[in-house]
Structure 1
Amino acid sequence: MTDIAKNKFPWIIISAGVVLRGVQYLHNTSLCLDEARDVVAGIWDRSLSDLFAPPPAIYTPTPPAGFFVIEKLIVQAFGDSEYALRLIPLLVSVLSLFLFYYVAKQYMKPGAARFALILFAILEPLIYYSSQVKPYTIDIAVALLLFLAANYIRSNRLSFRDVILLGGVGAALIWFSSPSVFVMAGVGTVSVISAFKTKDRPKAIRIMLICLFWAVGFASHYLLYLHNLTNEYMLNAARGEQCFMPLPPKTFSDIKWFINAFFSMFEETAGFYFSKSIAAFLFLVGCISMASREKERFFLLISPLPLVLLASGLSFYAFKQRIILFLMPSLLFFISEGIEEIGDKTRNKAPMIRTLLIGLLLFHPILSAASHLFKPISLEHEEIKPVLNYISKNWKNEDMLYIHYRAHPAFIYYAKRYGFVENDYIVGVYAGDKNNQWAFSVDYLNVYTGDLDRLRGKKRVWTLFTNTPMLHKGVDEKIFFEYYLNIIGRRIDFFENDGPAVYLYDLSRSSASSSYPYDDKVRRELHWNF
């Protein structure tokens, strides 16, 4: 590759990344369950000051306070359309393309930096979350800024102005990215140890002052906001999904957790769905290579990972999928370092090995990225807008809409747009244990049948489902609802859009039940943590 081509290549890749993110944004997919919950419960009907208060009982949001503040300001300025709500994640994701390459050049060889940029531009999770009303793109951008700061600290003598600037900005960033505390703790610890090893005590003291700023920022964020978010439900949900590291590992099953979690980083988090083993292998090679060549930079990049695992083992932070997306820069840096190292070792005797590994690693991500230029990345079981449009077009004055509880957040967001008013619908009860989504009892099914019995006698009842309901002991709630509705009524119409579906039933031949035992307010209160 000529020097001119080498200079142009990164800009071509960055442009491709911008196009992929822009197209995903313009596809304007429906808000998913998590997005709708955050918007309706976290932003609507809450003032800026309310965003720092304890969250509504209906739902415990997970985004940091700063993210909600930005979204609230966007809503006030541009409205609450999907485009407005997703604007900040998109812009941050686009800016991160430039920032990623700038940081990569400081930590890696030029060839590895270019390859890392390719991965960062085309991997599916990074494109998908660029257009989600979630703070994950901010988490990645903040991690990159902190790696940039760490390299600056490493390469420069720190002035008092540097201490104030780096410390103050870092303390503020915690309010916009909760997992940034792991990156701060990691790079701060490594930087202090490095300064002491070189016997630069004044620099070590200045770095500790920066870390003190960061610690104060985290403490204020925790005391004023984060401590309100933890509840028993969230802990049980994370345990049920095996998001907490066994500490200490005692059984073979515990050991298996580490193996599954390691490969899950590359499959579910990074998006190497068909090449996770190759990505994992290259990651390990890259770690060994960088540790032997640039030990301090290796520890700077790897340091957040053991800290997240430790927090997971203490049940403070879930180690899963998008929750650890902020680790993506480190993962991609090491994978690219691995490719570069293998290329250097095999260049003379077996140059095709590097080419083969690159081909295997990029084959599916490139095909996936190309296909999503025409079809958006979406949770197909949550694309609710076509279903609501169908109901609206076929609605009659006497109709009633019954909303399965998991469809409620998205429906509330879209209700006004499709002409639904409060008297048009009722929300189904949530029968499960509000502190444990994995609990199950046959009594739950009795709650659901009793709730549906209230609809007996009505001639036209639409039942709306989206976001595949939870499986409890093998019972699919959607199938169970259909089964019971077919017993008490007659289906006269239906519309399905992959996952979301609506069924129109005539229940006029069965009389309304008067013995429903679950009409207490608590059962029918909104509960969106399921």
Structure 2
Amino acid sequence: MEFITTKPTSTVYARATWLCRLAWVVLGLGVILRGVIWAQQRSLYLDEANLLRNFTERTYLGLFRNLDYEQYSPPLFSVLVKASIGLFGNNELAVRLVPVLASMLTLGLFFRQTQRWLTPVVAVFALSFLAFGKVFVDYGTVCKQYATDGLAALVLIEAAYYIGRGQFRGREAGVWIALGCLSIWFSMPAVFVLAGIGLWYLQQAWLRRDWTAMGWILGAGLAWLICFGAYYLLLLQTNVESSYLQQYHREMFLAFPPRNPEELQLLLTQLGELINKTVGKTALAAALAVVCFPLGLYQLLKRPHFLTWVLLVPIAACLAASALHYYSLMSRLVLFMLPLVLLVLGWGAQWLGRQHKWAAGVLTLLAVVVLANQQQLRYLGKPFQSDYTNIRSGLELVATHQQPGDAVFAYYNVAPVARYYTQEHTPRLKLSGLFLQEAGQQPSKQDPFTYGLLKLQQQGHRRIWVVYDREDEGPAQLVAVQGKVLARYPVYRGYVLLYKPGAVQPR
């Protein structure tokens, strides 16, 4: 079997000892950064709270069917998180332990693969983007399956590098049947990576005219298809056919082929967002990606080899599934694919650097500037700022200042997190007079926020606390109209209001 490397790893790093040490430093800092952010125990957000509610309400067997509260999670990931809660308690550290460990292991595997396939300087930069990029750090430290998706992809690629190098027979087929089926139930996007690996094995068997190997490979592939078919029918079909989810992800399905100028603009926006999440949202980052990715793509297709199949096929399969409205390009859902994109970028950058010495210098300078703009190392010394409101701090603030008889309004976007901290978290937050609004409680034509507030006011509460998870002023203005604002407390990406209702007209 043909496996492409730049040079033997020992030779490369013997000639560039300082780059080897720098790569280890980057790896260490990336692991430490994830550990520090995990230890900060930042507030859960809406999807985490809803997902955890499934884990606390269901048995292990119950995790192998569609989840409630508009959530999805691969069953084996769910089992691991539920086990962590059982062992260590229901708290931020326990529920995020599996994703954090997966994120660290992903970084270690990517370190190994960049050493193998990229030149030393390019390897350092590629590793740095994964180690310090916000999307990798953020979603690698929350209780969702995105970090484990990335780990599954790199584990499968690493396994393909070693298994079946000489021949593919019954033992190799057995290993791959087990590994492939487990990975599907552990990470749904693993099926995209398995497609590339299967085609790689088939190509090699065809070139060797090894029909026995081809039979075993096709047998393993058939087992994967059966496994994925069962997975689809049990867990995915309902979500794929959900009109709510189709509408929710409408702008995140790949607009290809574009049929009008609006769809062309959407397509360019979607591709730009992939660049943004991989190397950053700046003109320089876009320039780096626009130059290096097509070059890497061209070089991988010019002489197909191992990386051509295991990098490009999963990317193409994911984009094709998205164009067919089967897979969303929401940034967290394509997290598994971004390390593959980085390897393609690196492949193009190293080819250009070898062809033109001036290009190597320009690319190095460009990568330094882009990386400096995107890195998250500052959070080693201060709380991490994610894209989500710190609802827990708002609830704690209310618990500290509320008086007997006060009501606390948690509207439907805040309610799942409030429920978690007051009913499920260990220890529970003591908060009296809490009203948890369920989605859909209000009449269909009435604003849910307004409806919830009016309902509390009609119950005769003299003071009402409002925890809000946005920075817009709509709720504050509404409260000011309905009564007197007594206090306002800012929280990260939101605020808490205390107000005294005015007279409420009977309905």
Query: TM (normalized to structure 1)?
Result: 0.85
Paired residues for 1:322-361 under 5 Å: 322-347=332-357, 352-361=361-370
Match of 1:481 among 461, 475, 484: 475
Match of 2:52 among 39, 42, 52: 39
398 and 181 in structure 1: CA distance in 2 versus 1, 3 angstrom threshold: same
Identity of aligned residues (%): 26
Displacement, 1:227? 2.9
Maintained 8 Å contact 1:171/1:215: no
3-state SS of the aligned residue for 1:491?
Answer: strand
Matched, 1:426 2:435: yes
The code of the aligned residue for 1:371 comes to R
3-state SS of the aligned residue for 1:303?
Answer: helix
The code of the aligned residue for 1:510 comes to A
Q: 1: CA distance between counterparts of 2:23 and 2:169?
A: 34
Residue in 2 aligned with 1:55?
67
Match of 1:141 among 130, 139, 151: 151
Matched, 1:461 2:472: no
168 and 351 in structure 1: CA distance in 2 versus 1, 3 angstrom threshold: closer
The code of the aligned residue for 1:453 comes to L
Displacement, 1:308? 1.2
Q: 2: CA distance between counterparts of 1:63 and 1:182?
A: 17
Cα deviation 1:237-293 (Å, max 9, x = unaligned): 011xx11123543212223333222221110x3251221332232122222233335
Q: 1: CA distance between counterparts of 2:388 and 2:103?
A: 25
Residue in 2 aligned with 1:373?
380
Match of 1:123 among 133, 148, 169: 133
Maintained 8 Å contact 2:169/2:213: no
Residue in 1 aligned with 2:409?
402
Maintained 8 Å contact 2:156/2:193: yes
449 and 83 in structure 1: CA distance in 2 versus 1, 3 angstrom threshold: closer
Query: TM (normalized to structure 2)?
Result: 0.88
The code of the aligned residue for 1:91 comes to L
Match of 2:491 among 488, 493, 497: 497
Residue in 1 aligned with 2:10?
none
For structure 1, the 5+ residue unaligned runs are: 435-440, 469-477, 516-530
Paired residues for 1:226-265 under 5 Å: 226-230=236-240, 231-239=242-250, 242-265=251-274
Cα deviation 1:376-408 (Å, max 9, x = unaligned): 433365112221121111111111111121111
Maintained 8 Å contact 2:41/2:92: yes
Cα deviation 1:139-181 (Å, max 9, x = unaligned): 1111112212333357331231111012111101111101111
Q: 1: CA distance between counterparts of 2:105 and 2:438?
A: 43
Displacement, 1:317? 0.8
Maintained 8 Å contact 1:89/1:132: yes
Paired residues for 1:246-325 under 5 Å: 246-267=255-276, 269-274=277-282, 275-325=285-335
Maintained 8 Å contact 1:168/1:214: no
Match of 1:412 among 419, 426, 429: 419
Displacement, 1:216? 2.4
Cα deviation 1:113-149 (Å, max 9, x = unaligned): 3432232222221111221101111111111122123
Cα deviation 1:449-483 (Å, max 9, x = unaligned): 44432333421111121156xxxxxxxxx644333
The code of the aligned residue for 1:463 comes to V
Residue in 2 aligned with 1:520?
none
Displacement, 1:70? 0.8
CA RMSD in angstroms comes to 2.5
Q: 1: CA distance between counterparts of 2:172 and 2:116?
A: 19
Displacement, 1:500? 2.6
Cα deviation 1:38-86 (Å, max 9, x = unaligned): 112x212211122123433xx1212211111111111111111100011
Displacement, 1:498? 3.2
